[in-house]
Structure 1
Amino acid sequence: MTDTLQLEKTLWQAADKLRNNMDAAEYKHVVLGLIFLKYISDAFDEHYRYLKSIEAETGADPEDKDEYTADKIFYVPPSARWKWLQGRAKLPTIGKDIDDAMDAIEKDNPSLKGVLPKDYARPALDKQRLGELIDLIGSITLSKNGSGKGKDVLGFVFEYFLGQFADAEGKKGGQFYTPQSIVKLLVEMLSPEAEKRVYDGACGSGGMFVQSEDFIEIHEHRKGKISIFGQESNPTTYKLAKMNLAIRGIDAKIELGDTLMNDKFPELKVDYVIANPPFNVSDYNINKAETHKWKYGIPPTGNANYAWLQHFVSKLAPYGTAGIVLANGSMSSEIATEGQIRKELIEADLVDCMVALPSQLFYNTQISACLWFLARNKEGNSKLRNRNHEVLFIDARELGTMISRKQRELTDIDIFKVAETYHNWRSPELFTKDYQDVPGFCKSANIQEVRKNNYILTPGRYIDFKAVEDDGVAFEEKMQNLTATLAEQMQKANELDEAIKNNLAKIGFKING
């Protein structure tokens, strides 16, 4: 992993040098489109060599498109293969060659129709730098033993570049990218199982799904066994999601459209919802005809937070769970109907856990964020401890490490600490440790306590203060020591002041007073 990270950094530094005066938002599609093209070409070449090796024995045709689609590999026509394009990288026509290659790939692979960027021939794009970029990306190769590790590297590079572009673009870039440590925390806490359904109605570039697949592969040694459903309203981000999932070999049903107004999966029920909808969106509409979604109250105009919460609740199957990132204000807001909706969600025993996150985790906002975990049928779920009408509160605000002047990241240790606490509280089958409240960090509160706090869900309202360690020194002695220290400091200050006055007098300054 360290070698991969170093490769990612080296590639980013090299690619960023080629950016010249191009805006990061524009350059993003140039680079990510080429990485995707390299990925599908490498995957094709690997299978092509395999078909060649068995051609004489089985009659397999390496140029038969069906030989690839049967194995869920994109067919790449000759004029779109990386080797052919890299051979033309120094030609002034390379931009048009790439556009033609993208067109040809979409024609042969209907699932990619309208997804690939096709604007490489535009005059504003320096063709010499484009050729250098092709050579750079061409340096990422498949492993010689045919294990396909090169494709995994391309996947990591694609995800790394998404994050770097989000950072480079600032607020605009962060809209399509949730920092990886937050995604990992959500996935670790939800612990998705194979053969289940996962949904994200604000799926951005698809990072939630990538991490979910990785989690299952690590923990269950299986891949591609969960059913993935997503919707994204931004056409450009939708295309990024399609490419990001395809480059990781993840089969998913991703739809384009406004989730709250035009739900593309109206009948869908899932085992897991994992989402980071845009914070505090004021300009939004809901489909009021979907009355089953708004049974806890019509969300107010001017803030979509409680529209998203209720939408995700509506998607949960019996015993389904959801992990949702929202702004901190969602935990305590009394604006219009929000307080009443929160009360109804709590009284319906849908709120399972609340996590206060540290600041500076996001690329695009300084707004403090929290995690909502929702669960259906807590009382009837035999796999769980008897936690009906209880809420677990976790204060993670002191966790995380600064990775740059403006960016904080949750470490693996931080993520494990929070996830382990949740699982110890929730599921004895997953963890054997007994849950205990920890002052300053976590508290399990019952419905009576939540009612007393007017249904406000801010963890600080419930978690006991962290005790200050006793150093064995009596209070009176501490005060005496403090007084003596202050007196000593005052004496030194007076002596310094007198010395300055004397020196100024010597050089002719008259000191008044």
Structure 2
Amino acid sequence: MTNDEFKSTLWGAADKLRGSVAAATYKYPVLGLVFLKYVSDMFDAQAQVIVKRLADPKAEYYIPDEDSRGEIATQFTQDKTFYDADNVFWVPPNAHFSALLAQAAAPDLAQRLDKALGEIEAENPSLKGVLYREFSRLELEPGKLGELMQLLAKLSFDPGRHGSRDVFGEVYEYFLGQFALKEGARAGEFYTPKSVVNLLVEILAPFKGTIYDPACGSGGMFVQSARFKDAHAATLKKKGDLAIYGQELMAATRRLALMNLAVHGLHGDLGATYGDTFHNDQHKTLRADYVLANPPFNISDWGGDKLADDPRWVHGIPPKGNANFAWLQHMLARLSSRGRAGIVLANGSMSSQQSGEGDIRRSMVQDDVVECMVALPGQLFSNTQIPACLWFLSKDKGAGDNGSIDRRGQVLFIDARKAASGRISRTQIEFTDEDLQRIAQAYHRWRGTQFSDGEEYTDEPGFCYGASLEEIEKHGFVLTPGRYVGALMQEDDDEAFGEKMDRLTAELAEQMAKGAELDAVIRERLGALGYGV
């Protein structure tokens, strides 16, 4: 099998075992067991490393006498110190995946798993409160948990053979994506499609400095940023280094992110606990070089009425009924003097005028912190058909660290609505590597960054255009790329009728649901005032 076929087969079998348990519940034990298999394999691999070092004349702990080497090897491989030294998690014997697999038929397997993961947390402080320990609460049919362990036992990680952590990392990310497809609308709480993450990363190009995601979900932005850094280190002949900071509202999703970082060998500060970024900011003093985020779209119950005097609102107080411009200003406030941000938002943020949003957008443009706007296709997300866009903000648009071309007083517009040529399913598309490079290179050429292919930037009708602030003012500070890129942009005339109808129907359903929620709130408040409704 190819890697993709193996992952697909593994997922298919795991999903069949799910039974009556919802995907939203099932993902935590599955990913928890994937992590247990990963740390167990890493532990075994480290034991072999210790043994080899004892036989290596160049190693610090070389033992020339072969007879005594075996006895010492037994002692060293049972000494936690030699695992801590190489940042490998210590796995107690009874908590090892193989030890638990041998008890897969035991009626109390769930309780044994909870206890084992508790022991791993106790031995590794960085995992405290991270691992899934609720197997005993699962309502799975008898024997299903043991079958799941036997299935996941097919996974194997051998650093000597694979040379990286990508095997488990890929399986982990693949499962996250599959759970997102299963969960539909709920997926937005923890998962951003890989295609969207890749585009953010390719344009923002995080390489050296501090990276921050205030709505980090399962940590996909961090993982892809680290991959970008590693991939370009050799090309640029420079060492990249990223310090990771993030925050997540949901406790269970925060645990997914911490496990995801661990699977990929990354370390990050996700704050002391989970919490609301607006009201319980875990990184108030942080000034990041890169911010990447896909915050929840158009949230109305974000508690804005309690933050009217917040110092983050430099460009205007965000409306109480929509957090889009609260997110933009929060991220802008967390940027360093050379910092840049890439943010996914609903298309409405580019043109809305209600509740002062147009004034905030105008202020941001006039303050010259908006660097690039990208319009996305409508079928990139599994959990919503609402079209989205990317905002790229910058604290320094002059010639220097962020690019050799001075772009102060200008904004790059990219219309990528027709630029995704990959297809995941009938209802979901994605950007191919070629698509990503086309879009990213438009930005890097325009800015003159070290990641540019060296070709000179030119406006491309229907795709990209560099506009002056004066031009943007003539358009009423609306930032929709279609207004600027010109020809080939007949709005949605080229959109297939069926696709357009599906999209508009989905948008209408979401708006109607939101209207029903607001109607319920109004009725409740009128009732509290003594009015019968």
* Cα distance between partner residues in 2 of 1:251 and 1:52: 27
* Cα distance between partner residues in 2 of 1:186 and 1:211: 10
* Cα distance between partner residues in 2 of 1:191 and 1:122: 43
Shift of 1:412: 1.0
Instruction: Say if 2:462 is the partner of 1:419.
Output: no
- TM (norm. structure 2) is 0.84
Deviations 1:74-115 (A, max 9, x none): 111011111111111122222111111111011111111111
Instruction: Say if 2:395 is the partner of 1:396.
Output: no
* Cα distance between partner residues in 1 of 2:244 and 2:115: 31
* Cα distance between partner residues in 2 of 1:224 and 1:240: 25
Decide whether aligned partners of structure 1 residues 434 and 132 sit closer, same or farther in structure 2, where only a CA change above 3 A counts: same
Match of 1:119 in 2: 134
Match of 1:162 in 2: 176
Larger CA deviation: 80-89 vs 289-298: 289-298
Question: Secondary structure in 2 aligned to 1:324?
Answer: strand
Match of 2:377 in 1: 358
* Cα distance between partner residues in 1 of 2:113 and 2:450: 52
* Cα distance between partner residues in 1 of 2:409 and 2:12: 51
Match of 1:476 in 2: none
* Cα distance between partner residues in 1 of 2:53 and 2:455: 53
8 Å Cα contact 1:270-1:320 kept in structure 2: yes
Question: Any residues of structure 2 matched to 1:18-417 within 5 Å, and which?
Answer: 18-54=17-53, 57=62, 61-122=76-137, 124-143=139-158, 146-149=160-163, 151-194=165-208, 196-221=209-234, 225-255=241-271, 256-286=274-304, 288=307, 291-379=310-398, 381=400, 383-400=403-420, 401-417=422-438
8 Å Cα contact 1:319-1:381 kept in structure 2: no
8 Å Cα contact 2:223-2:264 kept in structure 1: yes
Shift of 1:123: 6.3
**Kindly, what percent of the aligned residue pairs are identical?**
48
Aligned counterpart for 2:462 among listed residues 440, 444, 448: 440
* Cα distance between partner residues in 2 of 1:126 and 1:117: 19
* Cα distance between partner residues in 1 of 2:468 and 2:389: 20
8 Å Cα contact 1:107-1:113 kept in structure 2: yes
* Cα distance between partner residues in 2 of 1:390 and 1:381: 16
Number of residues paired by the alignment? Answer: 465
Deviations 1:216-246 (A, max 9, x none): 1111149983100000011111111011111
* Cα distance between partner residues in 1 of 2:308 and 2:76: 53
8 Å Cα contact 2:482-2:489 kept in structure 1: no
* Cα distance between partner residues in 2 of 1:467 and 1:303: 29
* Cα distance between partner residues in 2 of 1:134 and 1:216: 34
Decide whether aligned partners of structure 1 residues 123 and 34 sit closer, same or farther in structure 2, where only a CA change above 3 A counts: closer
Deviations 1:316-365 (A, max 9, x none): 11121110000000000111121111011000100000000001111111
Shift of 1:150: 7.6
- TM (norm. structure 1) is 0.87
> Letter of the aligned partner of 2:35 in structure 1?
F
- In structure 2, stretches of 5+ residues that fail to align are 56-61, 64-71, 491-533
Instruction: Say if 2:12 is the partner of 1:16.
Output: no
Shift of 1:262: 1.4
* Cα distance between partner residues in 2 of 1:353 and 1:173: 27
Shift of 1:42: 0.7
Shift of 1:136: 1.1
Deviations 1:18-44 (A, max 9, x none): 111211111111110100100111111
* Cα distance between partner residues in 1 of 2:195 and 2:369: 25
- In structure 1, stretches of 5+ residues that fail to align are 469-513
Deviations 1:130-151 (A, max 9, x none): 11111111111123x7245584
8 Å Cα contact 1:98-1:118 kept in structure 2: yes
Question: Secondary structure in 1 aligned to 2:280?
Answer: coil
- The structure that has the greater radius of gyration is 1
Shift of 1:289: 8.0
Decide whether aligned partners of structure 1 residues 99 and 87 sit closer, same or farther in structure 2, where only a CA change above 3 A counts: same
Question: Secondary structure in 2 aligned to 1:135?
Answer: helix
